[in-house]
Chain A
Amino acid sequence: MTTAVNQAMVEKYKGNFLKEVTDNVEEGNWVKMCMQCGVCSGSCPLGPHWDHPPQELFMMIRANKREEVLSSTSMWMCTSCYNCVARCPRGLPITHIMHGLAHYGKRMGMKPKNQPTEKFGQMFWDNLIKKGRVNELKLGLGLYFKDGFAEGVKVSMGKQKLGLNMMKAKRMSPMEMLGGHGVKDLSGFHAMLKKAEELEAARVGANTDAK
């Protein structure tokens, strides 16, 4: 599915990645309004750790660097501190665009490999849809073991005391391991998700239709 959509996208927008972003990325219609002042990049507390600060990402979009943008790790680094949004003189919702780009890159199957934020996001989502509620114990353990068994054990041992304290304070129950509690109408919840998926597929499909 992703590959099909992807190819259709590439075909439809050919050399115009800016248009593709405008049409398909959440808040992507704002990218064209960037005036390259660089205040966002200067404001970003994580800026030095990015490959491409927002200003550069926006320029890359205009320069049709589709691959580089969608597979970039940069937008995954956004912590939603909103410093850039507060300071952008043109009022661009930069934080939202970053999340939009991340989501779009993932949907296009071009997400960066082994990106921890991306991994955790997927884990959270999978965990959530199972029961309609987040199973914190499983999510936590999943996070510990995401880089392999040995690494997981090491992390778990290190956090042992924290875990015990949380159990004592009744902030964490080992019983959650056995499945955990869910929402009342689980099938309804799943039906709702399915409907949402259908709507989204229809929306993207509409944009993917050849002109």
Chain B
Amino acid sequence: MKIGGYLCTGCGIGDRLDTKSLESVAVREGRIGFCKTHDFLCSQAGVDMIKADMALEGDDQVTKAVIMACSRRAKTESFNFGAVPVSRVNLREGVIWIRPEGSEHDETTQEMAADYIRMGCAEVKAMHQADASGEQSKNNHIMVVGGGITGMTAALEASKAGYYASIIEKSDRLGGVMGQLKQRQPEHSPFQNPQDTGVAALIAAVEADDKITVYLSSTIAKTAGAPGRFEVDIASTVGAGTHAEFGAIVQATGFTPYDANNLPEFSYGKSPNVVTQLELEALARAAGDGPIKRADGKVVENVVFVQCAGQRSTKEGHLSYCSGHCCATSIKQAMYFKDSNPDIETTVLFDDIRTPGAGGENFYRSAQDKFVTFRKGKVSTVDVKGNELQVNFKDLILDEDAHMGADLVVLATGMLPNSGTDIDTMKDKDASGEVKVSVESILNLNYRQGPDMPQLVNGFTDSHFICFPYETRRTGIYSAGPVRRPMDAAQAQTDAMGAVMKAIQAIENSAIGRAAHPRSGDLSFPSFRKEGCTQCKRCTVECPFGAIDEDAKGYPQYNEARCRRCGTCMGACPVQVISFKNYSIETVGAQLKAVDVPDEFQEKPRILVLACENDAYPALDMAAMKRNESSAFIRVIPVRCLGSTNTIWIKDALGSGYDGVVMMGCKKGADYQCHFVKGSEMAHVRMAKIGDTLSTMNLEADRVAVHEVAITDIDRAPKLLDEMVAVINRVGLSPFKF
């Protein structure tokens, strides 16, 4: 049982630092078993040397290791020793690459390296090997909620990958909105003509697949459990309910069309000849191969499409966002007319034509080629004049009021997601004492945090748009299709594939007790010291993922398969009883205490930097790669998420003589970038209260700074550290140096 230290002298570390002295720092001050130096530690020879030590028997066996070389983000494969806890000391990116050369800098640079080595040795002692919790279970069955094309595609993809799927469909048939369409926009080059929706083929494939079960006229009465072991009660409006178990869930509940009755200015409801896009599909289907007729039987000869009807508008009751598919849908529908008779006047009145996707532009060109007229204009009203309609609009190019007659007006209204209960507004209503749920719950989650997934802007299910698009804040539950964001059929099908892959990933990871992401492969999970817990419920409330319930006695109950290992609970705990095996109050606390704080006469401040390992730490690493210079007085400790930052660390640091603390997390708020959704935000909330602590210690408030740093802030991140150095220069060194 030994802690082995391995110091690399490659990449210039040996040239810039006094490695002999660092070795003795590691052994004497870090108090580890030994420290070996290698001039190329990540080479086969270097790694073999470490492995040989780990393979020894008895007291000589190395059971924990400190690698003193490059950033923990470099050479992760080489320095992965499986079951052996390893601490990485960042001498390359963290020290020599950010420090200028020259003898006048040698002393502070050497001190920096020595501190990081002390920190690494202290950390590894507090680390323990993480094991799975033992609560693992695996279930190869995926529940797909919604039987539209998104749901059916998801189920078929799951089946192709060898998993089972059950489709829960509320109505009595499969197909969803796409099933009501005549044709869809083209999916393949040359993207010129509308094509078959393919819904019939999808339904046939689903029905023929023996790995897929379909529950029609069914809803979900209750969902309990965690990834790998979801317990679901399925209610049926026609028969008896069922109880089933699933490994993961894909929610593909689609959208409801925006209610055109909110648009009386366009004479919707006043005239049967003003229809929505979906209503036009019904007319087109009724027409079959013949000409499209109005409700009164007249063959349509002059049709006007009104884009952005009640969308992209700030008016009360309108949708503020673009629904993404309507331009292409109107183009497609204009072609229904043009293809049947090129003499039919088809005019699209648009504000901006938006045709996303590979084929969108070609489809638009194809419509222009077919003489569909596009006029940039904003429609104000539609008047009913006997059997005719008059569309009044402002021509935005000619800058004049204009009007045109039409037999039929088609409104491009938007989409509203079927996301279920908005748990955030529920909370608000709770306070006033009345709970008014406008949308029925879809998943009926048996979670403390509410019956459905949290929603982001405009009611669409929450997801990390950039890094984990299908992920919701409920691990193992993935959303796909227009419930996630407005989209067209092709995107919804791509989405379905992505979401089902994530569902499979969740099933496989939960089976072995690993985090799915962002810390994929992490076996650690939070546990708490029961005798210290005050049952304050802060961890249950702050967990962004609803991973923590309360047991009958009010203690936190971890559902480790729902956990993403961010440590927000650990940061939240006021009595610091929550910890992970390899990441705890102690691992970070020991590191910051291991730093040698010089007395005030040496005039060398110490600044603690807690940097999010997802964005801020990589940004600092990349700044180092660019050789962006940084102060020698900073000591950086990476944290899983700024949300895992416990205020005790800040208090400890300031109490032990640090002059300043800089915290770097991801962007928070509605357009958050935090990989753990709320972690960064929670940290900001907690740190807003740190001012009280500072004032009781008689310290200046600006000694603690919290910043939002993106991975791209390569030049800004070091500047933020320089700013803190300037603050310390201004307010003076901390009075707490001993």
Contact = CB atoms under 8 A, between A and B. Distances in A.
B369 A32 contact: yes
B397 interface: yes
A33 interface: yes
28 contacts: A18-B373, A19-B371, A32-B369, A32-B371, A32-B373, A33-B365, A33-B369, A35-B353, A35-B364, A35-B368, A35-B374, A36-B374, A36-B376, A36-B397, A56-B397, A56-B398, A59-B376, A59-B395, A59-B397, A59-B398, A60-B398, A62-B373, A62-B374, A62-B375, A63-B375, A63-B398, A63-B402, A90-B365
Interface in A43-64: 55-56, 59-60, 62-63
Interface string B352-380: 01000000000011001101011110000
Interface of A: 18-19, 32-33, 35-36, 55-56, 59-60, 62-63, 90
Contacts of A55: 397
Interface of B, secondary structure class, is mixed
Interface residues of B, number: 14
Nearest to B375: A62
Interface in B307-350: none
B392 to A, nearest CB: 14
Contacts of A35: 353, 364, 368, 374
Q: Which 3 A-B pairs have the closest CB atoms?
A: A59-B397, A36-B376, A33-B368
Nearest to A33: B368
Contacts of A33: 365, 368-369
Contacts of B374: 35-36, 62
Contacts of B371: 18-19, 32
A32 B375 CA distance: 11
B733 to A, nearest CB: 59
B377 to A, nearest CB: 9
B13 to A, nearest CB: 53
Nearest to B373: A62
Contacts of B376: 36, 59
Given A32-B371, A90-B365, 4 more contacts: A32-B373, A35-B353, A36-B397, A60-B398
Contacts of B353: 35
Contacts of A63: 375, 395, 398, 402
Contacts of A90: 365
Contacts of B402: 63
Interface in B368-419: 368-369, 371, 373-376, 395, 397-398, 402
A105 to B, nearest CB: 19
A55 B375 CA distance: 12
B383 to A, nearest CB: 19
Nearest to B376: A36
Nearest to B404: A63
A18 B365 CA distance: 16
Contacts of A56: 397-398
A59 B375 contact: yes
B391 to A, nearest CB: 13
Contacts of B365: 33, 90
A59 B397 CA distance: 7
B165 to A, nearest CB: 42
A36 B373 CA distance: 12
A59 B393 CA distance: 14
B398 to A, nearest CB: 6
Contacts of B368: 32-33, 35
Nearest to B352: A36
Nearest to B365: A33
A72 B172 CA distance: 61
B327 to A, nearest CB: 12
